[in-house]
Structure 1
Amino acid sequence: MGKVILDMSMSLDGFIAGPNVNCKQGLGEGGEVLHEWLFSGDIPSKFNDFFKLSRTNREVFDKSFKTTGALIAGRRTFDLTSGWGGSYPIQGIPVFVLTHDPPKEIPRGETAFTFVSDGIVSAVKQAKAAAEKNNVQVMGGAITAQQCIKANLVDEILIHLVPVLLGKGIRLFDPIGPEKIQLEKGDVIETADVTHLRYRILNSRNT
């Protein structure tokens, strides 16, 4: 059985986007710095040559998607990206979108989208079934990520920690509830522009 992995780029002070997020600024004001590591090299990803990374960053990025069988995102992320034009940048991976109001029209493309309106537990269950033995990656939206953590559905957290203090914007872990969540440190991979930190959640419902 695959794992449920929360995978996010984050500033040192805990933000995954800057303020004033909108369709023209999907990462908010100044938030684009959080994804610069995806384009700071000259080695294309094996999955999409749109991403050009340093050698080490490419290894981390490609390793993650090599073992990913399904993605979970929030409706806001879907809307901000205009549904990725119907084709998520990594082909062949179904995307499950958590929403109370499924869209009437979906952009035509290569990606299979499923809109889940009966909660995060159902979204994870459906994504895990689609992923089979591969991992489910939670990659879109702080609220969706927080719901997964609160429900103890996340097995691992992979943070791409960018050396910047945004000061304001959207925080990844605020709020996630009063209960302590015990973590076990995994890989720590440092590069010039980002540090990749992997943690295992010890009290996950899936373990």
Structure 2
Amino acid sequence: MTQVIADISVSLDGFVAGPNVALDNGMGDGGDALHAWAFSDDPDEQGLLEQGTNRSGAVIMGRRLFDIIDGPDGWSDEVGYGAAEVGRPPFIVVTSAAPTSVRLSELDWTFVTTGLADAIRTARERAEAASAASGRDLDVVLMGGGAVIGSAVAAGLVDILTLHLAPVLLGSGTPLFVDAPPRTLRQRSAVVTPAATHLTYDVL
């Protein structure tokens, strides 16, 4: 069964990017440390990364994250879901208006201008179609940014929340949750690797 999974790296003080985020500084000052686990040679960390990408039947992101990914210093053949070893699921971008051009034109982009719920609905349809075609369950993965994931959890649109907790204090930056309503989580797993602690919760 297709589920909606929010998956993001976060600092110990709750930030998903450092201060001064820009097209040429996509993770903000100090924010690259949040993703050290994803670029590690450690086999356990590489295994977790592979598990996460292999389950992706469709991937959702916000417009700011798309602009960074599609920018000149963004994804390439070596880095990102566009990399050959990872695969290329369809990408759904939540935005107020579609861009006039896309650098990563070889990837499957859909721009949804009618809100997050519609983006998730579109992504679920794509993931379910991919599941049927592949013969295995694939999920909708919300990869960020923080505002998209925070809003989706607050609205009850997420089934599973996975946090890759990096051992760093950024001090400021982009918070994952802002004025979030109360919500109960049930812990599924906690996996400790050299560069992060990986926490997975059912969102009730």
Bucket of the pairwise TM-score, normalised by the shorter protein: 0.7 to 0.9
Residue 112 of structure 1 pairs with residue 108 of structure 2: yes
Higher relative contact order (CA 8 A, sep 6+): 2
Structure 1 stretch displaced more, 13-22 or 59-68: 59-68
Residue 71 of structure 1 pairs with residue 59 of structure 2: yes
Give the aligned partner of residue 153 of structure 2. 149
* Paired positions, count: 188
Can you give the 5+ residue segments of structure 2 that lack an aligned partner in the other structure?
Answer: 132-137
Shift of residue 109 of structure 1?
Answer: 3.4
SS at match of 2:156: coil
Shift of residue 112 of structure 1?
Answer: 0.5
Q: 1:186 aligns with which of 172, 185, 188?
A: 188
Give the aligned partner of residue 205 of structure 1. none
TM-score in terms of structure 1 length: 0.86
Shift of residue 81 of structure 1?
Answer: 1.9
Can you give the 5+ residue segments of structure 1 that lack an aligned partner in the other structure?
Answer: 42-53, 203-207
Give the aligned partner of residue 31 of structure 1. 31
Give the aligned partner of residue 46 of structure 1. none
Q: 1:88 aligns with which of 82, 86, 95?
A: 82
Deviations 1:17-41 (A, max 9, x none): 0000001110000111111112221
Alignment of 1:1-207 (within 5 A): 1-41=1-41, 54-82=42-70, 84=75, 88-89=82-83, 90-132=86-128, 133=131, 134-176=138-180, 179-202=181-204
Give the aligned partner of residue 134 of structure 2. none
Structure 1 stretch displaced more, 102-111 or 11-20: 102-111
TM-score in terms of structure 2 length: 0.87
Alpha-carbon distance in 2 for matches of 1:91, 1:142: 24
Alpha-carbon distance in 2 for matches of 1:31, 1:81: 15
Alpha-carbon distance in 2 for matches of 1:106, 1:81: 10
Give the percent of matched residue pairs that are identical in Structure 1 and Structure 2: 38
Question: What is the Cα-based RMSD across aligned positions, in Å?
Answer: 1.6
Shift of residue 108 of structure 1?
Answer: 4.6
SS at match of 1:187: strand
